Chains A and B, each alone.
Chain A
Amino acid sequence: MKGTELVLKALLDNNVRYVFGYTGGAIMPVLDEMEKQKTFSFVMSRHEQGAAFMAQGLSRASISTPSPRVGVCMATSGPGAMNLATGIADALMDSVPVLAITGQVATSVIATDAFQESDVVGVMMPLSKQCYMPLSAEEIEETIHEAIYVAKTGRGGPVVVDIPKDIQNQSSSENYQFDAKSYEPDLPGFVYPSEPDHNLLKKAVARINKSEQPVIICGHGVISSHGGLELKAFAEKANIPVCFTLHGLSAMPVDHPLSLGMVGMHGSVEANRALLNCDLMISFGMRFDDRVTGNLEKFGINADVIHVEIDPSEIDKNVKSSIAINADAKRVLKILVKDPECITKPRRFWFEQIESYRAEIASETRKEIKRGVGQEGQLLMKTIVTKLSDVTGGKDIVVSDVGQHQMILARFYNFQTMNSWFNSGGAGTMGCALPMSVGVKLARPEERVWVICGDGGFQMNIQELGAIMEHEIDVKILLFNNGYLGMVRQWQTMFYNGRFAGTPLKNPDFGAIAGAYGIPHQRVSAPDQIVDALETAAAHKGAYMVEFLCDPSEIVLPMVPAGGGIADMIVSFDNNI
């Protein structure tokens, strides 16, 4: 068999159906073989970065389906592979399994500065979980099987396989055999704990039972391990409030009485105050990112920390734990739910305190949402998001770009469906949403998918409207257009004396652009038009775009200022300076 056939055979054996990518000289043979076989759906992005995010979308969204998949993207050598890099780095930061297959120049010219040559393995090494370069056709199959195994095992991450063009065209010998069914990776050092340590669990339960003011922090690991139901059951059983990291959101319904919403730099008042005043943090599948903790020296000073985390290198990295359990979040939650030693405690004082945190800015926020417009008389994003929750019942999938709208969605969207919230967290890559939504929709075709972008991020991968058009991807695009890079503008307003350096945007006619791609568009400028527009978009068959003219003065609050501790959280800000 030829190298290209072996690539496709390995992908098929791993249940890959969709391949996202962009062709070019060094990957042509694989795409050519794909065209011959017609066994894959090839989705052509308009830029390789788009393909990487599409693959991410498929991986992220399919985790909670009966058949989780690893998203696959392909690109040619040199610039093609380099354009994938941002999407790969993003997948590493957010622990998303992705397989990137790149074509490389022929082995005879590698390292001679050949046309479209880059040292892909060299570049991708620090951006990925693992990189491979098979140097014979016979290595290809095993390499791809190992790559997919590594990508999805333990803490997920991207893996790159760089295949020189002559190896793609090489034929395996007649005696070559590979049995995919009995394949087991030969990686003696790559082991993950199968069972959490029993003694540590016992200690953890005793500590939880003793705690008067505990709080659970639900991280991405709960979603990745598909442990949302177990999390909810554990929180209810032990009667402990739950806050979420950005990627922990949608693990359980966010309007649950025990839910405090998102924690961190733009977390809710109740989540942040709870973290500040708790005596015990029980964190599942999270890594105490700086956007969660703020200044580490001021973080969790009065609390013990139980840290359940699959990646041992995250334990004690940022926050010292009292009890560290190196295990899969769901597995631990399952045991805790069933553990008869784990008791239900009323914790009345703690819940009274939490109610007072909830009330802190609730009425001002409600008023603002009701008013619907900001100082400049244009729409408030929080009003739009609240109405989106009303229209969808919080059940639809939301894919967000990066910025103010992302934080506002995290704060105000009423997440009801497990694993229904996709965006770039660790890397914070603007432009991720439009391509990511393509993968998300293909992974969950029965569900409605909303893509929310700012006018800045939208234009970073706007070309993927082409992929949406060509493949008839039914996503509802909500463009929050305030004419600025809103989050940076917010920092400029708050910390740079209102000097708007590099944030104002002179924007094109987005309606005309949508129209050029055959996507219906409407523009909304008044609060009373929001629901109608959202309902029209929801009812429309196929992609639809609603552009909201948003108020540039809107500030996302609360905010823990950079370098500050959670106690320094800003809950109100006079924007009239």
Chain B
Amino acid sequence: MTKATSIKRRAITVFVKNRPGVLNKISMLIRHKMYNVETLTVCAARQTGYSRITLTLYEDKDDKILQVIRQIEKMTEVISARELGINESFWREVVLIKFEADQSQLETLIEKYKFEVLDRQNHEVYIVQMAGVSKKIDDLIQDLGNDKIIEVARSGFTALEK
């Protein structure tokens, strides 16, 4: 149901009136245009009654992404929609990871990644939180290794223009 693979990741930030069905509409449009939503974050905007949606998808062509944005902008509840270029904005993720480790391994990892430990259920299982670029999170996950990880929750991107 999705188009042939593009390799360029794009972030679109949309400000909307917080009404039921807005997210549904936007995701339906993206599906209709044959994209897969890669990540999606929604939060309250500063002004009450409004929300900020940040989504990412893959598309190589600039004019195609402009079409998606213009069609999103057309929706009556949408205040604005724009692309946040990877060089002109910060894209960040939050991750929560539950994993097994002994005290010394944990300390080495904290040294390297500066994450916050949220919970130590016993001396061997930890839940930690880290925010940052995707690459850093990927690295942490790789460093921990599949054997040690019990569960991972990643937020998907949120982004802000420089």
Given contacts A125-B25, A189-B17, A189-B73, contact A316 B66 (CB under 8 A): yes
Which residues of the partner chain B approach A374 to less than 8 Å between Cβ atoms?
none
Is the beta-carbon distance between B24 and A125 smaller than 8 angstroms? yes
Chain A 283-341 residues near chain B, CB threshold 8 A: 311-313, 315-317, 320
Chain A-chain B contacts (Cβ-Cβ < 8 Å), number: 47
* Contact of B59 with A by CB under 8 A: no
Given contacts A125-B28, A311-B74, contact A189 B67 (CB under 8 A): no
Nearest chain B residue, comparing its CB with the CB of A159: B76
Which residues of the partner chain A approach B78 to less than 8 Å between Cβ atoms?
189
Is the beta-carbon distance between A188 and B73 smaller than 8 angstroms? no
Taking the closest CB of chain B, its distance from the CB of A144, in whole angstroms, is 15
Q: Please classify the interface of chain A as helix (H, G, I), strand (E, B), loop, or mixed, using the class held by over half of its residues.
A: loop
Nearest chain A residue, comparing its CB with the CB of B72: A313
Given contacts A121-B21, A126-B32, contact A313 B73 (CB under 8 A): yes
Is the beta-carbon distance between A125 and B79 smaller than 8 angstroms? no
Is the beta-carbon distance between A189 and B25 smaller than 8 angstroms? no
Q: How far is the CA of A315 from the CA of B78 in the complex (A)?
A: 19
Is the beta-carbon distance between B76 and A317 smaller than 8 angstroms? no
Taking the closest CB of chain A, its distance from the CB of B71, in whole angstroms, is 5
Which residues of the partner chain B approach A312 to less than 8 Å between Cβ atoms?
70, 73-74
Nearest chain A residue, comparing its CB with the CB of B31: A126
Taking the closest CB of chain A, its distance from the CB of B19, in whole angstroms, is 9
* Contact of B41 with A by CB under 8 A: no
Chain B 116-154 residues near chain A, CB threshold 8 A: none
Range of interface residues on chain B?
A: 20 to 34
Range of interface residues on chain A?
A: 20 to 34
Q: Which of A133, A150, A313 contacts B67 (CB 8 A)?
A: A313
* Contact of A111 with B by CB under 8 A: no
Q: How far is the CA of A126 from the CA of B21 in the complex (A)?
A: 11
* Contact of A130 with B by CB under 8 A: yes
Contact string against B for A residues 130-156, beta-carbon threshold 8 Å, 1 for contact and 0 otherwise: 110100000000000000001000000
Is the beta-carbon distance between B79 and A131 smaller than 8 angstroms? no
Q: Which of B21, B32, B63, B76 contacts A189 (CB 8 A)?
A: B76
* Contact of B80 with A by CB under 8 A: yes
Contact string against A for B residues 69-93, beta-carbon threshold 8 Å, 1 for contact and 0 otherwise: 0110111111110000000000000
Which residues of the partner chain A approach B80 to less than 8 Å between Cβ atoms?
189
Which residues of the partner chain B approach A188 to less than 8 Å between Cβ atoms?
17, 79
Taking the closest CB of chain B, its distance from the CB of A315, in whole angstroms, is 8
Is the beta-carbon distance between A187 and B74 smaller than 8 angstroms? no
* Contact of A190 with B by CB under 8 A: yes
* Contact of A69 with B by CB under 8 A: no
Q: How far is the CA of A122 from the CA of B79 in the complex (A)?
A: 22
Q: Which of B32, B67, B73 contacts A317 (CB 8 A)?
A: B67
Q: How far is the CA of A150 from the CA of B15 in the complex (A)?
A: 19
Which residues of the partner chain A approach B25 to less than 8 Å between Cβ atoms?
125-126
Is the beta-carbon distance between A130 and B76 smaller than 8 angstroms? yes
- With A188-B17, A313-B74 known, 9 other A-B pairs at CB within 8 A are A122-B24, A126-B25, A129-B76, A130-B76, A131-B21, A187-B76, A189-B76, A312-B73, A312-B74
What are 23 sample pairs from A and B whose C-beta atoms fall under 8 A apart?
A125-B21, A125-B25, A125-B28, A126-B25, A126-B28, A129-B76, A150-B76, A187-B17, A187-B76, A188-B79, A189-B73, A189-B77, A189-B78, A189-B79, A311-B74, A312-B70, A313-B67, A313-B70, A313-B73, A315-B70, A316-B63, A316-B67, A317-B70
Top 9 A-B residue pairs of the complex, sorted by shortest distance between their CB atoms: A313-B70, A189-B79, A190-B76, A313-B71, A189-B78, A313-B74, A130-B76, A126-B28, A312-B70
